[in-house]
Structure formats: C-alpha cells, structure tokens
C-alpha cells in the first residue's frame, strides 16, 4: 500500500480490491472509531462542499478530530503563502491531510513536502482518485462483480477526469466500453490508444439511444457550458445528452445509472424513482470508501467486517 493517494495509478489492482473490501466492512458497521485521538486536516483551497462533507463525515465516523479550512479567503494563503509552507505547517499539526487545490500536480507536490499521508481530493482537472474508488465500490456493490462488465460513458469524455480515471481503473477487470459524446467532447486519442494497447474493446457513438440496452453501467457526466466556444452548440448538445425514463425501458434489469453529481439536466427527474437510478446511493458509498482509504493510509487493518 502506498503512503499517499494522489492518483489512481498509485493503487495496484490488489490495493483497489482490498480498499473496496474494507469499505464494505464500514458499510456494515459504520461506527468504528479507530482514529480516536488522531487529527485529520481537511484543507480546501477551492470550495467543494460535496467532497469536503463526505471526507469530514468519514473522518468523524472514524472518531478523528478535524482541523482545516474550506476556502482560502480567511487564511495566510491569501497573503501569498506558498503551498509548500502551508503543507509543512499543517503536516506538523495533523496525522493525515486531505487536500483539494485548483492547480494540477499540487497534490503530488504536497505529498513530497508532507511528513504525513496526503489524500488528493481533486487537483484541478487532473486526478480525483477517491471518486474513482467510490465509483468502483458502487459498481461492485450493484453488480456483485467488477469483471466483464459493459460500461457506457456519456457526456464530456474529453475533459471529464472522473471518466478517464474510472476507465483506467476498470481496465484491470476485462470491461467493454461504449463512449457516447458529441464530436467536441470525444474521448481523447491517448486514452483510446491505452485501451487498444490493453486489448479492451470499445465503440464510440454520438447517439445516446444506441448503447443503453446492453449496458450494465451507464456513467453520466455533466456537459459544461464553459467547454463550448459556441453557446448555440452548447444548448443543442445539452438537450441531446439527457437521459429520461422512456429511454431506459428496454435496458438490462441489473443496469445502474451512475453520476458523479452535481447533475444539471443530464438525467431527467423522472429517472430518480426508477430502480436503475443509483447516483444518490453512489454519493453515500463515498463515505464508506473514504473511511477505508483513510484507514488504509494510516495502516489500520484489524476492523470488524
């Protein structure tokens, strides 16, 4: 097990499976205060309420105390303090650091400066590995396995870091992929080359109706307005890549829809009550997965299953 979790590439297939197994233990018994007396620093250089609350809930459930900040306005960073100095200081105070930062590579750098484990809670558009692990946990939980699944990824496949990391992590488990996106937001060539090199089959389509009926997982992402130079194009695309209840009437019974949230209109409200909707439970799974990640990095292993 590596000391830090900065990128999903830091975890081997075995590390991933062990973490997911531990997450299951926490789901069965969420109150295991193994971190009593420990201090977890939650330092958010840009606001992200959802991720921060999930991490802080996880640390609280483990019995740790939390210090930190949720934006930089009230800190010395607004006075121009370097990331290095902030991390040096915080790692003197705490047993583990959870960090979100707008600059890419900031988490890797922090892990090299810090004397305690660092968890990357998102470094700009680069990595968000705990999201990937909670996605894997949600897939394992709903499908009973990770192996041999058909996954349809929809929306912004060009800039969406969650789809890139999930695609790479899933590639340990013989998947097949459908990539559904507008021309402007197609899966970049480097990732397709990666799949070709690993012999993993995939197809690409612009039509959302195409890859729904044989999918085990439909992974929806938000199409962001700022990615488009032409606002008319955005309005057109936004409405095309919107999933509604009638579209999934012929899908497989085990099919689940995941979304990293927040959603805007990629998934219509009428899907929420369907047995295929899983995005809210997915967010809840984030707490158990993060409890497992924190425990693993602090080398706590003897938990109740």
Partner 1 sequence: MEKQLKVSAIKDGTVLDHIPSDQLFKVIDILGLQKSSNQITFGFNLDSKLLGKKAIIKIADTYFEADDINRIALIAPQTKINIIHDFEVVEKRVLSVPSTIKGIVKCMNPMCITNHQAVETLFSTILDSPDIKLHCHFCEKITDRDNLKIISNS
d(CA 117, CA 132): 19
The alpha carbon dihedral of 57, 59, 63, 68 has a sign of: negative
User: Quick one: which of 7, 171, 282, 285 contacts partner 1 (CB under 8 A)?
Assistant: 7
List the interface residues with partner 1, window 79-118 (CB under 8 A).
82-84, 101-106, 108-109
DSSP state, residue 121? E
CB 159 within 8 A of CB 124: no
Rounded to a whole number of angstroms, the minimum distance from the CB of residue 89 to partner 1 is 15
Q: Crossing angle for the helix pair 189-198 and 161-170, nearest 10 degrees?
A: 10
CB 40 within 8 A of CB 59: yes
Does 43 engage in binding with partner 1 (CB under 8 A)? no
d(CA 260, CA 256): 13
Q: Which is nearer to partner 1, 157 or 237 (CB)?
A: 157
Rounded to a whole number of angstroms, the minimum distance from the CB of residue 123 to partner 1 is 8
Does 70 engage in binding with partner 1 (CB under 8 A)? no
Rounded to a whole number of angstroms, the minimum distance from the CB of residue 273 to partner 1 is 39
Rounded to a whole number of angstroms, the minimum distance from the CB of residue 119 to partner 1 is 17
Q: Which is nearer to partner 1, 109 or 172 (CB)?
A: 109
| Contact mark string toward partner 1, 162..191, x via CB under 8 A | ----------------------------x-
Q: Which is nearer to partner 1, 65 or 108 (CB)?
A: 108
CB 124 within 8 A of CB 103: yes
Category of 299 on φ-ψ map: left (φ > 0), alpha (ψ -120 to 50) or beta:
left
Residues in contact with partner 1 by CB under 8 A are 7, 82-84, 101-106, 108-109, 123-127, 190
């Amino acid at each position: 097990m590596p000391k830090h979790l900065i990128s999903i590439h830091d975890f081997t297939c075995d590390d991933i499976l062990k973490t997911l197994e531990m997450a299951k233990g926490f789901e069965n018994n969420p109150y295991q205060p193994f971190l009593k007396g420990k201090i977890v620093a939650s330092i958010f250089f840009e606001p992200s309420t959802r991720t921060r609350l999930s991490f802080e809930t996880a640390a609280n459930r483990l019995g740790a105390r939390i210090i930190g900040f949720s934006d930089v306005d009230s800190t010395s960073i607004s006075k121009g303090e370097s990331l290095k100095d902030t991390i040096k200081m915080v790692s003197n105070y705490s047993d583990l650091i959870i960090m979100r930062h707008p600059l890419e590579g900031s988490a890797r750098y922090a892990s090299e400066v810090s004397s305690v484990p660092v968890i990357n809670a998102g470094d700009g558009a680069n990595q968000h590995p705990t999201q990937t692990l909670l996605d894997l946990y949600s897939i394992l939980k709903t499908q009973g396995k990770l192996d041999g699944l058909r996954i349809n990824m929809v929306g912004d496949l060009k800039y969406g870091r969650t789809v890139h990391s999930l695609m790479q992590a899933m590639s340990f488990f013989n998947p097949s992929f459908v990539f559904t996106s507008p021309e402007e937001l197609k899966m970049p060539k480097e990732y397709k080359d990666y799949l070709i090199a690993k012999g993993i089959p995939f197809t690409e389509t612009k039509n959302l109706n195409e890859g729904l009926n044989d999918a085990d997982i439909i992974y929806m992402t938000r199409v962001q307005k700022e990615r488009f130079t032409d606002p008319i194009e955005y309005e057109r695309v936004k409405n095309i890549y919107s999933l509604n209840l009638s579209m999934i009437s012929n899908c497989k019974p085990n099919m689940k829809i995941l979304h990293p949230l927040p959603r805007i209109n990629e998934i219509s409200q009428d899907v929420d009550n369907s047995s295929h909707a899983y995005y809210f439970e997915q967010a809840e799974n984030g707490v158990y997965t993060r409890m497992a990640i924190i425990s693993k990095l602090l080398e706590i292993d003897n938990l109740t299953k």
